[in-house]
Amino acid sequence: MKVLLVHGRLERLGTAGPYAVIGHSLGGVLLRSALSDLAGPQPVHFIMLGTPNQPPRLARVLGVPVGVPTDHGPVRGEPE
In a domain, 73, yes or no: no
Q: In terms of residue numbers, what domain contains 27?
A: 2-62
Segment 18-45 mean pLDDT: 89
Contact assessment for residue 28 and residue 56, using Cβ atoms and an 8 Å cutoff: no
Q: Is residue 67 part of a domain?
A: no
Q: For residue 47, tell me if it sits in a domain.
A: yes
Q: Angle 17-19-21 (CA atoms, 0-180°, nearest 5)?
A: 155
Is the pLDDT at 36 greater than 80? The verdict is: yes
Question: What total of structural domains would you count in the chain?
Answer: 1
**pLDDT (mean) for 39-60:** 84
Q: Are 45 and 17 in contact (CB under 8 A)?
A: no
52 within a domain of the structure (yes/no):
yes
Q: 68 lies in a domain?
A: no
**3-state DSSP: the chain helix, strand, coil percent, rounded to 5?**
40, 10, 50
End-to-end CA distance of the chain: 31
